Structure 1
């Protein structure tokens, strides 16, 4: 990939994604394999006036060796120093940029008990940090950079170099970094998403009826005074940021107890290094009462049993089938990209900002309003080219929201 495109991408992540402020600290979480691009981010961040840039490195090979050979007890508790590091910088108002680029099948065949314990201990250990993320107390952003294992999963029938180059091209195009001025392009893109968000907030639908030929037949109630959000968020301190690059979604929360019917996943879910494929969930009064998967069912079971809240949903997101990422016809095996090519739901925690005054709610007020609380938040995709969504307002009037996979308004 040419250096000019990479610099545009780095610029986009820092100026639009994090919206790095003068003298602000930046924390980057990066695979060692993506070090060249991470170093570019570090240099550019200092050029933009960063006070300090800290990099937390991770490595798929070492992670797999740990899961293969480590005693199960080491996965039961997250090291306190990892928790303290993130919270130390979060309390100081740092921005957090994560590079999502894991091998989709890294932990295939690994003891599922180890994986489940590791997921739970991490969610418990980082609960306070995740609360800052979910309430927009900090600026945060997720981007992706190719790694060889990921690239070969997406493009298995070409050479290693070609696979990585193909994935780079797909990423650069998907995030609009191949335009003349990506930052300005993104400002216009965010305005387009805001138009959809504003319309849905004005309508305040009480319920969505969601159906497609794959077998999804779902009724999703929305809480009173729910709020739709789109690509741009704002911290409590008034700083705009974009959490995901790319982003094509407009999202809100379902009522915790208002989901009924069946939903069938339209894309595989890469969950913690395990692929969950061809799965379905059945809901009654919001709770997942049945589930199945062609592969990865044990990982799905562990996800659903993380805690009480992981048996319920926390997000509904609308993404047109005719979107730039979907139109690449590439299955990325990476939720950051696949969720922005498809309507999706999230198991677990709801964003408090998706209901009026939600950031001030106590646990009791959240429960009363139908806002789900959980240690986890995991998106999965259900959108298809024949997806239809009907909105029903408080008077019982019906309106097409999606017809044949795309916005109807």
Structure 2
């Protein structure tokens, strides 16, 4: 039996919150004695940020450093700053990033929209420039992330705004608590799960095993067919599939998504053909973008659609701010046994929704999806962009089929279920 929240505005009981934070620190980042823990979020995430600090020090962290950002400050800069001053990267911010790349550092980013609409009405080209220009200034960091050198986990926390989107029929605090219970269930920390994080660790290991199975098939092409979607992806030789958990470039075990259900890879960015229709709205930069769809030819997105022309243009500005933004960096598979998908709700949060159904991502890919080979140079088809944007295309009817070099057809997902 779970105790009631100790304070009237607490979203979880103290033992639930501690278990959630401990699982992030010990079973996603696998923090060790003497490591440094960096926490990134907004003021709306303070309850979890403090709990993560407690969990970090319990695990033996030498430092827990919390950094709160404020989207209203970005809005002020986009409104008022001269063009050449958009997208600043301070010297201290660069030092912070370099410290985060150390083998003894671990990073948590907390997701959950808390201040929507602050960018509404601002020129989309300036918003995109301010958001993406910093990545161009620290390309050394982007490349290090793609190579798996950043020990990072993305997690979620129910803000009042976000919970109200997911549960509009409930009062604000009740909606937040309901969403918090959903997160525990998705992370295998709910009432029906083991009292420790063993359910989560077993699940993450099972997802990793499925990724290994996909790698072993040595597919050269992948097809996705479903409602409004007919896509073909070329897969480079020596492609690896990833998911669940695995060692980073420093050999430290990490489970980067909490929760997770997906297995994913980076296709050859030049080899995507066909059309797609998003099955869920995209929550992006304070907007909810409906009706997304489009067409790829020779790898490039040549047509983009959305229910609102303003939303379409806003998204197109972001894609075009990165010269590789119209090519794909990821394709990910999820079947209908996903706890998130079975919840039957759209959560309007990429971390959650991308683990409910299959998805694709524009922009940067993952260097870790290629077998390391000293004799092989270049990206081997991995998108070298700076941005990364996931959009959900999966449905219960989606079928995924792989093809080997000798033409063998391998059903991967059919009837909503894994076939391997």
TM-score bracket relative to the smaller structure: over 0.9
Query: What is the match of residue 35 of structure 1?
Result: 46
The one of 307, 320, 329 aligned to 1:294:
307
- After TM superposition, give the deviation of residue 198 of structure 1 in Å: 2.1
> Residues 48 and 119 from structure 1, CA distance in 2 versus in 1: closer, same or farther, beyond 3 angstroms?
same
| Structure 1 pair 54–156 and aligned structure 2 pair: CA distance change class (3 A) | same
1:195 and 1:58 map into 2 onto residues whose CA distance is 37
Q: 1:297 to 1:78 in 2, by over 3 A?
A: farther
> Relative to 1, partners in 2 of residues 1:35 and 1:361: Cα closer, same or farther, differing over 3 Å?
farther
Deviation at 1:63, TM superposition (A): 4.5
Instruction: Give the 3 Å change call, closer, same or farther, for CA 297–138 of structure 1 in structure 2.
Output: same
Count of matched residue positions in the alignment of Structure 1 and Structure 2: 404
Cα distance in 1, alignment partners of residues 164 and 172 from structure 2: 7
Give the aligned CA root-mean-square deviation in angstroms.
2.0
Q: Which of 248, 262, 268 pairs up with 1:249?
A: 262
Alpha-carbon spacing, 1:390–1:310, altered in 2? closer, same or farther (3 Å) = same
Whole-angstrom CA distance in 2 between matches of 1:311 and 1:161: 40
What TM-score do you get using the length of structure 2 for normalisation?
0.90
Match for residue 330 of structure 1 among 309, 329, 345: 345
User: In 1, are the aligned partners of 2:34 and 2:104 still within 8 Å (CA)?
Assistant: no
- Give me the whole-angstrom Cα distance separating, in 2, the residues matched to 1:307 and 1:262: 22
- 2:327 equivalent among 312, 330, 337: 312
Distance 1:314 1:158 in 2: 38
SS of the counterpart of 2:211?
helix
- What do the CA deviations read for 1:131-170 (whole angstroms, capped 9, x no partner)? 2222121311110111111111222232111121121111
Structure 1 CA distance for aligned equivalents of residues 118 and 48 of structure 2: 22
CA distance in 2, matches of 1:32, 1:25: 21
Contact 2:204/2:255, CA 8 A, preserved across alignment: no
Q: Deviations over 1:287-310 (max 9, x none)?
A: 111111113212220232122221
Report the Cα distance in structure 1 between the residues aligned to 2:244 and 2:375, rounded to whole angstroms.
22
Normalising by the residue count of structure 1, what TM-score does the alignment of the two structures yield?
0.93
Structure 1 residues 391 and 297: alpha-carbon distance in aligned structure 2, compared to 1, 3 A threshold: same
Contact 2:322–2:385 at 8 Å: present in 1 too? yes
What is the SS of the residue equivalent to 1:141? strand
Partner of 1:141: 153
Q: 2-side partners of 1:176 and 1:133: how far apart?
A: 27
Match of 1:346 in 2: 361
Aligned pair in 2 of structure 1 residues 278, 359: CA closer, same or farther (>3 Å)?
Answer: farther
The offset of 1:241, in angstroms, is: 0.7
1:34-74, CA deviations, whole angstroms, 9 ceiling, x for partnerless residues? Answer: 21221111112111110111111123455445555656554
- 2:407 counterpart of 1:392: no
- Structure 1, gaps ≥5 residues long: none
Q: Is the Cα contact below 8 Å between 1:22 and 1:51 reproduced in 2?
A: yes
Judged with a 3 Å threshold, the aligned counterparts in structure 2 of structure 1 residues 246 and 202 are, in CA distance, closer, same or farther, namely same
Deviation at 1:270, TM superposition (A): 2.1
Q: Which moved more, 1:31-40 or 1:217-226?
A: 31-40
CA distance in 2 between partners of 1:384 and 1:61 (Å): 36
Counting helix residues as a fraction of each chain, which structure ranks higher? 1
State the secondary structure of the residue aligned to 1:331.
coil
